[in-house]
Amino acid sequence: MAKILVTGGAGYIGSHTCHRLLEAGHDVQVLDDLSKGFAHNVPEGRLNVINLHDLVAMDKLFSAKKFDAVIHFAAFISVGESVREPERYFRNNTGGSLALLDTMRRHNVRRIVFSSTAAVYGNPEIVPIVETSQLKPVNPYGESKLMTETTLRWSSECTGLRYVALRYFNACGAEARYGVGEEHEPETHLIPLILRAIRTGKPLTVFGTDYPTPDGTCIRDYVHVSDLAEAHLKALDWLMSGGEGGVFNAGTGHGFSVLEVIRAAEAVTGQKVPFQTGERREGDPAMLVADSSKLQKTLNWSPKYAKLEEMVASAWAFESSHALGD
Ligand code: UFG
C-alpha cells in the first residue's frame, strides 16, 4: 500500500483512477480546487480543496501526509478554450505543474504519474502514432502539456525524479460501480454531446465533413476511462517497485470517425441521433490513432474495452441515470 496524492481527482479520469487505487488498497488523498471537478466524485473524507499555486496549503498537506507518489491530473482540458485564452492554459497547466514539482522536491517526493495527451503530437504525419513521432502541438492546450513533459524530463535527468507520462487519446465511458462519469461544464466532448442530443432532441453539429478520411469526418481513438485508470495504477505500481519510467501512449489502436460514433450511439440506444453538419472546429487534427505497444509491453497493459458500442453503452448508462445539462 502506498500513500498517493491525486491532483484533479474530482475530475472525470482522476476520479475513476482514485476509485481504482482505493480498490487496489492504496491510501489516497485528492487535491482539487473544484474549478472544474465535483466534490461528489471524490470518496468521502479524501478531498482537499487546494489550488496547486497555493504553496502554503500545499506544504501543509505534504508535511501532514508524507506521500510516496503523486498522480497529476489537475488541468484545464478544452482545446477550443485554450485557443481563445492561451495564457490561462499555460499558467494553470504548466505553471500549476511547476508549483507541484517544486513542492514535491521540497518534500522529497520523487515519483509522479502525469496525465498527458495525444494533443502533444499535433497533426501526425504517420498513423498509428508512436511515442517517438514528431511533437508539434497545434493548440496551447497540447503545448501546455508538452511543456510539462519537458520539465519532467529535465527534473528526471537533473534531480532523479522518476515519472511516467501517459499520453491518452480520447477518454470515454464510465464505470458504473464507482457512480462517476463524464461531466464537463460546458461539455465539448463528442460522446456525451451525442447522448445529450438523443435525450433532448437538440441536434449535434458534426464539425467538418471534408477531412481526408473515408467519410470526411475526423477519426479518433476512443479509450475507456476504466482502462485508463488501470494504466495509472500499473504505472504507479511500476514506479513504486523501482521502474525507471518514461512516456507512453494510451489508446486502443482503433480509430472511429464522428459518423461511426453516431451510428454506434444509435445502435446502443435504439434511437436516432439528431445532427447537422457544420464547419471544421479550429485545432482539430484529421486523424489520431495510438500505437500503444510500448505501454502494452512495458506495463503489461491491455484495454479491456475494444468495442466502441460497449464504451458508448457505459456512457449512456451514466448519462441516462444522471440527466446532465441540456
Ligand atoms: N466533434 C463534433 N461535434 C461536437 C464535438 C466534437 O463533430 O459537438 C468532433 C470533433 O471535431 C472531433 C471529435 O468529435 O473530431 C472528437 O472531439 P472531442 O472534443 O470529443 O475530443 P478531441 O479529440 O477534440 O479532444 C480529446 C480530449 C483532449 C485531448 C485530445 C487529444 O478532449 O483533452 O482528445 O487528441 F487533448
CA 113 to ligand 1 centroid distance, Å? 24
Q: Is 218 in the pocket of ligand 1 (CB under 6 A)?
A: yes
Tell me the β-bridge partners of 112. Answer: 70, 163
CA 244 to ligand 1 centroid distance, Å? 32
pLDDT band for 308, please (50, 70, 90 cuts). very high
Q: Which three cell numbers stand for residue 44?
A: 468521502
Give tens-digit pLDDT for 84-132.
Answer: 999 999 999 999 999 999 999 999 999 999 999 999 999 999 999 999 9
Q: What amino acid occupies position 252?
A: T
Supply the pLDDT for residue 143.
98
Question: Which among 281, 288, 292 is the best mutation to test ligand 1's pocket, defined by most ligand atoms within 8 Å of the CB?
Answer: 281
Tell me the pTM.
0.97
* Closest atom of ligand 1 to CA, residue 77: 33
SS (HEC) of 98-135: HHHHHHHHHCCCCEEEEEEEHHHHCCCCCCCECCCCCC
Q: Apex CA 100: angle with CA 99 and CA 103, to 5°?
A: 90
Q: Is 258 in the pocket of ligand 1 (CB under 6 A)?
A: yes
Domain extents in the chain:
3-172+221-250, 190-220+253-322
pLDDT band for 184, please (50, 70, 90 cuts). confident
Give tens-digit pLDDT for 20-35.
Answer: 999 999 999 999 999 9
190-220+253-322 shares the fold of 3-172+221-250:
no
Nearest protein CA to atom 18 of ligand 1, as residue: 189
**Domain 3-172+221-250 belongs to what topology?**
Rossmann fold (3.40.50)
CA 190 to ligand 1 centroid distance, Å? 6
With beta carbons less than 8 A apart as the criterion, state whether 156 and 163 touch: yes
Q: Is 53 in the pocket of ligand 1 (CB under 6 A)?
A: no
Annotated catalytic sites, by residue?
Answer: 141
**Domain 190-220+253-322 belongs to what topology?**
UDP-galactose 4-epimerase; domain 1 (3.90.25)
Q: Which three cell numbers stand for residue 238?
A: 511500476
